[in-house]
Chain A
């Protein structure tokens, strides 16, 4: 039994090794405390609401969020705006609907059931407006990058002047956390860029953390449920395992073999 567990745990450790080694060649990311990490990790409601504000006032002019609907903003486990607030947010966007009975497309204020309005008509339009680079959709962005939240958080604060000897083309910026260090997106954040509705001081660091938290939620909207359910499931399994262990001992006590 002991031997068995020792070997098994070794195998599991080894299994995870090649995956973590991907990160080995990359730079050390900036670290911060994420409220959503750990066994009981939950989102910081305030950070999510501020993060939404950063997204909508800064990122949304180029980056789409196509898998989210306005109703998600008031759902449990998310920013938890009130339904009234979410309705108001939705209504502040113009949505193209139709065709109506005359066969015409028309514009109306957004509803809770609408998907987030896209900044560009299509990928080509997005590329044309951004010097050929397509600003990626942000719905699952943190899961689509190797470093996850730490990478996004660092990238937003990683803009600096290029080191001597590196020349950048027109419209290309230097970022020490970007893969290859060259990024088409100009530095999106600066201190005091937006005015938080809850009065928080909008430093670059604060905005980076808030918007990254928001992006974690957009990528994993059920993260809180997952953590809560996971804890219960594992505690249940452990208790059941202990009970089964003792029944097993009892049953096997009838034969003279150890289990």
Chain B
């Protein structure tokens, strides 16, 4: 939080602000001291907010025309594509928007991994982020079911069936989820309801995510605490606002290209075939953004253990602030971690690739090795690395290239005064 108190200049403004300090909030948001060395990887927070709003606005519009009924859903989507004014545009923005949302969130997460943004004192921001990510996956999965195409239906069947792996109560849970004895109309209507609800939960969590961020302030590429406000920081407006806008526009160009020129490339052709419970597609594959986890699921021969592995792969991220024992945040000053970081990136991309392939032969072998490595990275490499790694000297502040700082501001200040 910025240190100074804000008082509105006008009488009316003061009267209002004393009763509801909205102007103080607005002032905090514009003045918010931000490290001035944030690079473009930091612009994805703003981009993600844009994605969420876009999904909510286009989603609301689609919901006005969509019919959540097993016999009418597919037709109503075609109605949107053909007869609703610019319905095709709204639907393609929504469908590709989901992919763009995940593209942005993966960059956002991997930025955090590189610069150690999850470390103290930002653990809560990170954990809220993981919850948002989980909710995004749930929303995306249920949204994919709504057009009631073949992949919708069979994807829903495969994913809901995962719960049957739970001993004793599994089958009962699946029936309860379905609202019947197979994926059918009750499943569709409840998925629609939840798909409508979840984005607003995400919106609430995003507010908490940003609130929690504004307590310690942004991490930065150097990964040290900065004094706020100081010559290391700039006010959020106009500096960060204009930079975020620039990055957002570049992102929108890519987005627009998908929407206008290859709107279906990220989807699966089978989803333009109406759902048929009697015909199983040759390959059932999830959307690209879920593929790494799908690969982990399939790499374990036992169903229950596979489900546990898949869930752990996501939940392990929540424990990351404690698994990573290094006090140094930024990978810039961690030569070994930097290499392992890029291996992890490659590992996740490989998992995504094999997730799209049939689970057999070499693909299965690669999936197993990559899955094992994924867990090895978080459970063994990170804790050990933090203790053993010889890190590079880090500067005392962003502006001054004096070395000998630490990630923590108080210790850095002590050192600074002792140097002087």
> Chain A residues in contact with chain B, CB under 8 A?
1, 4, 8, 11-12, 14-19, 21-22, 39, 67, 72, 136, 139-140, 143-146, 148, 179, 219-222, 226-227, 229-231, 233-234, 237-238, 240-241, 244-245, 247-248, 251-252, 255, 257, 259
- The reply on B356 being an interface residue by CB < 8 A is yes
- The reply on B78 being an interface residue by CB < 8 A is yes
Closest chain B CB from A225 CB (angstroms): 8
B288 touches A19 (CB 8 A): yes
Q: How far is the CA of A17 from the CA of B266 in the complex (A)?
A: 10
Which of B75, B81, B89, B356 contacts A22 (CB under 8 A)? B356
B75 touches A237 (CB 8 A): no
Q: Which residues of B contact A226 (CB under 8 A)?
A: 88-89, 92, 260, 263
> Chain B residues in contact with chain A, CB under 8 A?
36-37, 39-41, 75, 78-79, 81-82, 88-89, 92, 103, 106-107, 234, 238-239, 242-243, 245-246, 249-250, 252-254, 256-257, 259-261, 263-266, 269-270, 272-273, 282, 288, 291, 349, 352-353, 355-357
Nearest-neighbor residue (CB-CB) of B233 within chain A: A255
Q: How far is the CA of A186 from the CA of B288 in the complex (A)?
A: 37
Q: How far is the CA of A21 from the CA of B81 in the complex (A)?
A: 28
Query: Can you name 21 A-B residue pairings with CB atoms under 8 Å?
Result: A11-B103, A12-B103, A14-B349, A15-B103, A18-B291, A22-B356, A39-B261, A67-B79, A140-B78, A143-B269, A144-B269, A146-B269, A221-B81, A226-B260, A234-B253, A237-B249, A237-B256, A248-B243, A251-B242, A252-B239, A252-B242
Q: How far is the CA of A58 from the CA of B256 in the complex (A)?
A: 38
* Most chain B beta carbons < 10 A, residue from A21, A136, A244: A244
B243 touches A234 (CB 8 A): no
A241 touches B103 (CB 8 A): no
Nearest-neighbor residue (CB-CB) of A41 within chain B: B261
A145 touches B260 (CB 8 A): no
Identify the 10 closest CB pairs spanning chains A and B, nearest first. A230-B260, A18-B356, A144-B272, A241-B249, A143-B272, A4-B40, A248-B242, A67-B78, A140-B272, A257-B36
Q: Which residues of A contact B82 (CB under 8 A)?
A: 67, 72, 221-222
Given contacts A140-B272, A227-B260, A240-B249, contact A19 B89 (CB under 8 A): no
Which of B37, B75, B250, B256 contacts A67 (CB under 8 A)? B75
Nearest-neighbor residue (CB-CB) of B82 within chain A: A221
Q: Which residues of B contact A12 (CB under 8 A)?
A: 103, 254
Closest chain B CB from A96 CB (angstroms): 19
* Most chain B beta carbons < 10 A, residue from A22, A140, A238, A240: A140
Q: A237-B253, A245-B246 are in contact. List 8 more A-B contacts (CB 8 A).
A: A12-B103, A14-B349, A16-B265, A17-B353, A67-B82, A237-B256, A241-B249, A257-B234
Q: Which residues of A contact B249 (CB under 8 A)?
A: 237, 240-241, 244
Nearest-neighbor residue (CB-CB) of A247 within chain B: B242
Nearest-neighbor residue (CB-CB) of B245 within chain A: A244
A237 touches B291 (CB 8 A): no
Given contacts A4-B39, A241-B253, contact A18 B88 (CB under 8 A): no
Q: Which residues of A contact B78 (CB under 8 A)?
A: 67, 139-140
Q: How far is the CA of A238 from the CA of B256 in the complex (A)?
A: 11
B36 touches A255 (CB 8 A): yes
Q: How far is the CA of A136 from the CA of B269 in the complex (A)?
A: 14
B39 touches A234 (CB 8 A): no
A15 touches B272 (CB 8 A): no
Q: How far is the CA of A259 from the CA of B78 in the complex (A)?
A: 45
Q: How far is the CA of A4 from the CA of B107 in the complex (A)?
A: 11
Q: Which residues of B contact A234 (CB under 8 A)?
A: 253, 256-257, 260
Nearest-neighbor residue (CB-CB) of A18 within chain B: B356
Q: Which residues of B contact A145 (CB under 8 A)?
A: 269
A18 touches B238 (CB 8 A): no
Q: Which residues of A contact B264 (CB under 8 A)?
A: 143
Which of A222, A233, A251, A257 contacts B88 (CB under 8 A)? A222
